[in-house]
């Protein structure tokens, strides 16, 4: 049977994208050699009076990263979901990016930026981009999953009403995916806090980069063994999380209930309670802002897009079309040659690594893979039942939702050096501790996606299941698990990516007087960073990306396709 062009694109897209990303990382690595020899850092004071300023600096970085993340998620997810050719190119890029160990290349990225711009600006950009990488991928996958699982009858209805692409986005696609976006936004903020320490304080060899912020404050407290300052930092973080929960996320979740897909009203037991949401709805300031600013802005956007999209597209067949095709082919050839040249330089650079070292890297890769899947399996065991309980029971959600957000947001990296001292006394202690830190960095992706999935189950399906008297396992097998399957796959993909990133922190732990490590890719990457062994750093990262690409290509991608084809809510 003859292969079509699409099947060829689908077969080679992952590997072309993989090569492109690796060559880009290699180019950044070469640029890092021109970084300044000395690193200038701002001293971190542990005085309590500096806490508000540090917290404000960290919040600024979090907000900027979140704005970038939400814009990236909407545009990227929309582009991947709306075009099959785009999907074959963009999904492999997203798979690789969300699993690329950004912590391993953060030092290289910082060095590369400091070679071309002022150090303070470079550090701020690097910190914001690191937080962005911890926030963007799960929101993008969730948004893409929402777009690809919109029921067929709703799409047909939008066609019957002749909705253009803007009105379809406004009236169907954004409302349908809004609940998932909100829950994943909460998760993104939690992940941002988790990586805040790595973003604000960085040590590579004899170079130290520090920025003032809440993360660097807690890391400095850990380095000095100042338990009091560490507790103050964690309490400050918890206060920020609770304030955001009460004044931002809960009102958003209450408002998002109006977008649920159901034919009957939801029962009181499934509603998200927010005392602040009614206050906002009755506030004269909010009503004035909605009437004077929000509605005119929406009307202006509607007018602009409707006028632009209503224009008839005239297709003109030009005699120059073959010439344009030749230009496109020429550009592709030039880019391909540049890519091959970069690949040749990259493999020449990696030839400094001996065969025995590559065998050790492969052995370490299998060890890290086992830890990643162990962390994922353990996380699934508790996040599915607990997520269903939180998403379907108002009283439980009222109690556990803030606790879950606090637990997800407290950066385990701050107290992990203390935790390792306990586990190191047990048999296989460092391996157990590594899996635990991976779980702490991955389980929340699963939990928040499960909660979002439960929140989107239509109330009429719940009533139907009750009328059919489905109980216990039959209820789960018939309604809960099929409805949650797309969300579990989305959560698992982002959770596994988080586990690969967390391996760098989990397999190599440096305390103030000793280094604890175990065999694994994360350990190799962290040690290469500490000793500025760039060839080893790149080789280990190369192997990690190849492993992750294969797992995504032959595992998660097929499960994603199954979720789209078999488990749509229709």
User: Is residue 515 within a helix (H) or strand (E), and if so which, with residue range?
Assistant: strand 515-517
Query: DSSP strand E in 180-331: where?
Result: 201-204, 207-210
Last residue of a domain, one of 257, 292, 310: 310
Q: Name the CA dihedral angle for 159, 163, 167, 168, rounded to a multiple of 10 degrees.
A: 10
Residues 294 and 181 in one domain: no
Residues 147 and 86 in one domain: yes
Q: Which residues contact 336 (CB under 8 A, 6 or more apart)?
A: none
Domain that holds residue 475: 30-274+353-566
Residue 13 inside a domain? The answer is: no
Q: Which residues contact 416 (CB under 8 A, 6 or more apart)?
A: 433, 437, 505, 506, 509
Q: Which residues contact 8 (CB under 8 A, 6 or more apart)?
A: none
User: Residue 269: which pLDDT band, with cuts at 50, 70 and 90?
Assistant: very low
Would you tell me how many other CB atoms lie within 10 Å of the CB of residue 559? 15
Residue 345 inside a domain? The answer is: no
Q: Name the CA dihedral angle for 558, 560, 564, 570, rounded to a multiple of 10 degrees.
A: 120
Rounded percentage of the chain residues whose pLDDT exceeds 90: 5
User: Residue 153: which pLDDT band, with cuts at 50, 70 and 90?
Assistant: confident
Question: Considering Cα of 273, then 275, then 279, then 280, what sign does the dihedral take?
Answer: negative
Residue 174 pLDDT exceeds 50: yes
Rg (CA), the chain: 25
Residue 373 pLDDT exceeds 70: yes
Distances (CA, A) of 188 to 92, 139, 397, 445: 21, 7, 19, 9
| Complete DSSP assignment for 120-153 | HHHHHHHHHHHHHHHHHHHHHHHHHHHHHTS-HH
Residues 243 and 291 in one domain: no
- Residues paired with residue 523 on neighbouring β-strands, in sequence order: none
Per-residue pLDDT tens digits for 34-47: 554 444 556 788 88
- Helices marked H in 471-531: 472-475, 481-506, 521-531
Residues 409 and 537 in one domain: yes
In the three-class reduction of DSSP (H, G, I as helix; E, B as strand; rest coil), residue 212 is classed as coil
Average pLDDT value for residue range 461-479: 79
Predicted local confidence at residue 154, as pLDDT: 83
Residue 115 pLDDT exceeds 50: yes
Residues 178 and 302 in one domain: no
User: Residue 280: which pLDDT band, with cuts at 50, 70 and 90?
Assistant: confident
Per-residue pLDDT tens digits for 499-539: 887 787 778 776 666 777 788 888 888 788 777 777 787 78
Average pLDDT value for residue range 354-358: 82
Residue 84 pLDDT exceeds 80: no
Residues 300 and 444 in one domain: no
Average pLDDT value for residue range 396-403: 77
Predicted local confidence at residue 539, as pLDDT: 81
Residue 204 pLDDT exceeds 60: no
Residue 453 pLDDT exceeds 50: yes
User: Residue 202: which pLDDT band, with cuts at 50, 70 and 90?
Assistant: low
Q: For the chain, what is the mean pLDDT? A: 76
- Lowest-confidence region among 198-207, 222-231, 557-566: 198-207
What is the β-pairing status of strands 508-510 and 207-210? unpaired
Predicted local confidence at residue 564, as pLDDT: 73
Predicted local confidence at residue 252, as pLDDT: 87
Q: Which residues contact 407 (CB under 8 A, 6 or more apart)?
A: 444
Average pLDDT value for residue range 249-276: 67
Of 188 and 327, more confident:
188
Predicted local confidence at residue 313, as pLDDT: 47
Residue 544 inside a domain? The answer is: yes
Q: Which residues contact 226 (CB under 8 A, 6 or more apart)?
A: 46
Residues 404 and 542 in one domain: yes
Residues 374 and 448 in one domain: yes
- Residues paired with residue 202 on neighbouring β-strands, in sequence order: 209
Residue 4 pLDDT exceeds 70: no
Residue 527 inside a domain? The answer is: yes
Residue 8 inside a domain? The answer is: no
HSE-up (13 A, CA, CB side) for residue 529? 27
Residues 122 and 224 in one domain: yes
- Lowest-confidence region among 42-46, 62-66, 120-124, 197-201: 197-201
Residue 23 inside a domain? The answer is: no
Residue 326 inside a domain? The answer is: no
CA distance 456 to 317: 47
Per-residue pLDDT tens digits for 306-345: 777 765 444 444 444 455 566 666 666 766 677 676 666 6
Last residue of a domain, one of 284, 310, 336: 310
Residues 483 and 363 in one domain: yes
- Lowest-confidence region among 113-122, 289-298, 557-566: 113-122
Contacts 24+ apart (CB under 8 A), 62-67: 62/131, 62/189, 62/192, 62/193, 62/196, 64/128, 65/128, 65/129, 65/131, 65/132, 65/135, 65/192, 66/135, 66/185, 66/188, 66/189, 66/192
Predicted local confidence at residue 493, as pLDDT: 84
Buried b (16+ CB within 10 A) or exposed e, 413-428: bbbbbeebeebeeeee
pTM of the model: 0.75
Last residue of a domain, one of 289, 310, 331: 310
Predicted local confidence at residue 310, as pLDDT: 63
Residues 229 and 284 in one domain: no
CA distance 283 to 376: 44
Q: Are 396 and 457 in contact (CB under 8 A)?
A: no
User: Is residue 344 within a helix (H) or strand (E), and if so which, with residue range?
Assistant: helix 321-350
Residues 387 and 452 in one domain: yes
Q: Which residues contact 113 (CB under 8 A, 6 or more apart)?
A: 122, 123, 125, 126
Rounded percentage of the chain residues whose pLDDT exceeds 70: 75
Average pLDDT value for residue range 167-176: 86
- Lowest-confidence region among 195-209, 259-273, 354-368: 259-273
Residue 137 inside a domain? The answer is: yes
Predicted local confidence at residue 8, as pLDDT: 45
Average pLDDT value for residue range 403-412: 72
Number of independent structural domains in the chain? 2
Average pLDDT value for residue range 165-174: 86
Residue 72 pLDDT exceeds 90: yes
Residue 268 pLDDT exceeds 50: no
């Amino acid at each position: 049977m003859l292969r079509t062009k699409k099947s060829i694109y689908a077969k080679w897209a992952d590997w072309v994208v993989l090569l492109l990303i690796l060559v880009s990382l290699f180019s950044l690595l070469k640029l890092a050699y021109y970084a300044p020899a000395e690193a200038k850092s701002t001293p971190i004071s542990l005085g309590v009076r500096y806490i508000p300023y540090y917290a404000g600096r960290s919040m600024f970085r979090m907000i900027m990263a979140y704005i970038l993340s939400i814009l990236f998620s909407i545009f990227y997810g929309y582009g991947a979901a709306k075009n099959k050719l785009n999907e074959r190119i963009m999904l492999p890029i997203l798979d690789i990016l969300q699993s690329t160990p950004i912590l391993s290349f953060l030092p290289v990225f910082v060095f590369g930026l400091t070679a071309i711009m002022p150090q303070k600006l470079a550090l701020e950009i690097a910190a914001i981009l690191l937080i962005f990488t911890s926030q963007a991928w799960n929101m993008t996958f969730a948004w893409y999953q929402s777009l690809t699982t919109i029921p067929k009858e709703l799409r047909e209805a939008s066609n019957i009403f002749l909705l253009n692409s803007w009105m379809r986005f406004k009236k169907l696609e954004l409302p349908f995916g809004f609940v998932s976006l909100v829950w994943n936004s909460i998760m993104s903020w939690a992940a941002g806090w988790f990586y805040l320490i790595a973003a604000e304080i960085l040590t590579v060899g004899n170079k130290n980069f520090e920025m003032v912020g809440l993360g660097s404050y807690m890391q400095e407290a850990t380095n000095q063994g100042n338990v009091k300052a560490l507790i103050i930092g964690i309490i400050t973080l918890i206060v920020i999380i609770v304030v955001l929960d009460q004044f931002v996320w809960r009102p958003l979740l209450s408002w998002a209930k109006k977008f649920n897909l159901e034919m009957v009203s939801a029962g009181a037991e499934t509603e998200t309670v927010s005392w602040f949401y009614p206050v906002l709805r009755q506030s004269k300031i909010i009503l004035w802002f909605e009437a004077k600013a929000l509605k005119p802005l929406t009307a202006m956007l509607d007018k602009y897009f409707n006028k632009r999209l209503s224009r008839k597209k005239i297709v003109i067949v030009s005699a120059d079309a073959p010439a344009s095709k030749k230009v496109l082919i020429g550009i592709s050839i030039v880019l391909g040659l540049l890519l091959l040249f970069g690949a040749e330089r990259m493999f020449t650079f990696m030839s400094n690594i001996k065969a025995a070292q590559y065998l050790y890297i492969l052995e370490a890769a299998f060890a890290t893979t086992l830890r990643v899947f162990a962390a994922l399996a353990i996380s699934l065991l508790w996040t599915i039942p607990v997520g269903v309980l939180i998403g379907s029971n108002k009283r439980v959600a009222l109690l556990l939702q803030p606790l879950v957000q606090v637990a997800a947001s407290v950066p385990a990296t701050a107290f992990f050096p203390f935790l390792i001292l306990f586990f190191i006394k047990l048999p296989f202690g460092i391996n157990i501790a590594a899996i635990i830190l991976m779980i702490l960095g991955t389980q929340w992706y699963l939990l928040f996606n499960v909660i979002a999935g439960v929140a989107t189950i239509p109330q009429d399906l719940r009533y139907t299941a009750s009328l059919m008297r489905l109980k216990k396992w039959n209820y789960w097998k018939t309604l809960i698990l099929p409805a949650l399957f797309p969300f579990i796959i989305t959560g698992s993909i982002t959770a596994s990516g988080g586990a690969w990133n967390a391996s760098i922190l989990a397999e190599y732990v440096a305390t103030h007087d000793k280094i604890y490590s175990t065999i694994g890719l994360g350990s190799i990457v962290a040690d290469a960073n500490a000793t500025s062994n760039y060839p080893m750093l790149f080789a280990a990262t190369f192997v990690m990306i190849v492993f992750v690409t294969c797992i995504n290509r032959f595992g998660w991608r097929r499960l994603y396709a199954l979720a789209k084809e078999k488990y749509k809510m229709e």
